[in-house]
Amino acid sequence: MAKLKIVTRGDDILNQKCREVEEITPRIIRLLDDMRETLTAAGGAGLAAPQVGVLRKIAIIEYEGETPEDSQELIELINPKIIAFSGHQYTEEGCLSFPNEWIYTDRPMHITVRYLNRKGEECEITASDFLAKALSHEIDHLDARLCTAAVPPMTKFLKKNPRLAKRDVPNKETAMKILFMGTPDFAIPTLRALYESGEEIVGVITQPDKPKGRGYTLTPPPVKAWALEKGLEVYQPTTCKDEAFAELLAKLDPELIVVVAFGKILPKNVLDYPKYGCINVHGSLLPKYRGAAPMQRAIIDGEKVTGVTIQQMDIGVDTGDMLYKSEVEIAEDDNFEDIHDKLSVCGAEALIETVKLIKAGNMKREKQDDTLSTYAAKIEKSDCLLDFSKSAEELHNLIRGLSPIPLTFTHTPDGKLLKVTSARIVDRDTICGKEAGEVVSLDGEIVVACGKGKIALTGVLPEGKGRMRADEFIRGRKINVGDILK
């Protein structure tokens, strides 16, 4: 393998569209190997062929998530094509061809890409967050769409868009002064709803930027990126318990604090400061599923209905008085992403109704019945292992509850990790007489015997590969009838 020169700003090849690869020749394989060597040396997250002077539709990405389970080994993409995308993430990003520059961009939050691997096999990968951004970035390179041309660097962005630098608050006389505290994309619909409702957002508190990707690039939380795009004041304290935060709170002087998946426990002095206290959008119908993972646990437990609760925060964990509830149905095939998206929208609507009731003086509190409470513990790696001695229905619920992240997993007979992205129940009740975990059919799906019934694995993420349909995995002769998954 050889380290190639990375072309930078000013080289016209970056402005030329790439041609598709017609045949995967030894020369193409050598280029993939050289690009890998170049990416490793440069310490980046991705590299496209035009960045090394080759006008072919080839890109590579090496992504390290926040945990080993989230990470992907090198992904090699030949003739990649985006076939689906949704959502937005407004973030700063870097590029090896534009060293020492940070570009403010609008990328899809979720993306599905179809491509060929180095063996010429058609593959498909569905990604979210940082990996979705990286895929979009590298594919743009292949079509001569440069991130620098899309949106100017953040340092210039607000100067060129003065209307975003300071928001004019409608209903100035009646607007409530609200401090928003949130971090992930789940919180954005609520922040957006508040922004559009005409209330005065005096500031946005979010978590500090965190290093992501192979190059450990500092990446802002989704809430920060969205708030900056709207010209809102953003603060990223490392703690809410010191004198500095107390001074900031006094300076902003909110009448109400709205908290959505902020990620830190608030001390009593913060809870007590605003006139109307602190209210929280919680992703369950309290008092059920208090804790860190209410959406996932509801699906895993086979619940048919979930929802959001707006609660008045107290010093306990999700133990405050309930102010407003709204239910959402969990369909049989809904996974964590589906419920996450439904509840983020439902939560925003519920929060706005709650604020209206508070302003009108019509808010009624309801105490939680602690005897009915359940706890939704944080998802651990041990929760993700598929135990095929359980029923097909239990396994189906587990797979749905942990997809698209962190994903359930099992192991093939050769010991390799096999994550499961989707599944369906073939048989709920029959005891089929096969060993639990035994592969009983490979007719386009991986049908596995369970303690009760059978389940078909329809989407998988093999070790070292991208996401793919089960039939693609089967065609690669990676599994046989009679194999035991465990």
Range among 94-103, 194-203, 367-376, 458-467 with highest mean pLDDT value: 367-376
Residues 6+ away with beta carbon under 8 Å from 81:
113, 114, 115, 139
Crossing angle for the helix pair 336-360 and 188-197, nearest 10 degrees? Answer: 30
Sheet holding 278-282, edge to edge: 234-235, 200-205, 177-182, 256-260, 278-282, 305-312, 322-329
Mean pLDDT for the stretch of residues 277-293: 97
Among the residue ranges 22-31, 61-70, 393-402, the one predicted with the least confidence is 61-70
pLDDT of 44 over the 90 cut? no
So what CATH class is 161-376? alpha beta
Q: What angle do CA 133, 129, 49 make, to 5 degrees?
A: 25
In the chain, count H helices and then E strands: 13, 24
Q: Which fold has domain 12-150?
A: Peptide Deformylase (3.90.45)
In contact, 259 and 301? CB cutoff 8 Å: no
Crossing angle for the helix pair 188-197 and 222-229, nearest 10 degrees? Answer: 20
Q: Kindly give the residue spans of alpha helices, DSSP state H, lying in 235-377.
A: 243-252, 268-272, 294-300, 336-360
Distance (Å, rounded) from C-alpha 82 to C-alpha 139?
8
Q: Could you read off the pLDDT of 208-231 as tens digits, one per residue?
A: 998 876 666 778 899 998 998 888
DSSP assigned state of 371? G
Q: What is the pLDDT of residue 129?
A: 82
Mean pLDDT for the stretch of residues 321-343: 95
pLDDT of 147 over the 70 cut? yes
Superfamily of domain 381-475: Formyl transferase, C-terminal domain (3.10.25.10)
Q: Could you read off the pLDDT of 161-176 as tens digits, one per residue?
A: 444 334 444 566 789 9
Q: Is the C-alpha dihedral spanning 167, 207, 402, 297 positive or negative?
A: negative
Residues 6+ away with beta carbon under 8 Å from 169:
175, 198, 199, 200
Q: What is the pLDDT of residue 171?
A: 61
Mean pLDDT for the stretch of residues 433-438: 93
Which residue's entry shows tokens 């209903």?
171
Confidence of residue 34 (pLDDT cuts 50, 70, 90): very high
Q: What is the pLDDT of residue 161?
A: 44
Q: Which residues of 322-360 are buried (b: 16+ CB within 10 A; e: fewer)?
A: bbbbbebebeeebbbbbbbbbbbebbbebbbebbeebbe
In contact, 50 and 141? CB cutoff 8 Å: yes
The whole model's pTM is what? 0.69
3-state SS, 207-255, equals CCCEEECCCCEEECCHHHHHHHHCCCCEECCCCCCCHHHHHHHHHHCCC
Q: Could you read off the pLDDT of 463-477 as tens digits, one per residue?
A: 988 899 999 999 887
Cα within 13 Å of Cα(135), Cβ side: 31
Domain boundaries, the chain: 12-150, 161-376, 381-475
Among the residue ranges 50-64, 251-265, 320-334, the one predicted with the least confidence is 50-64
Catalytic (active-site) positions: 46, 51, 95-96, 137-138, 141
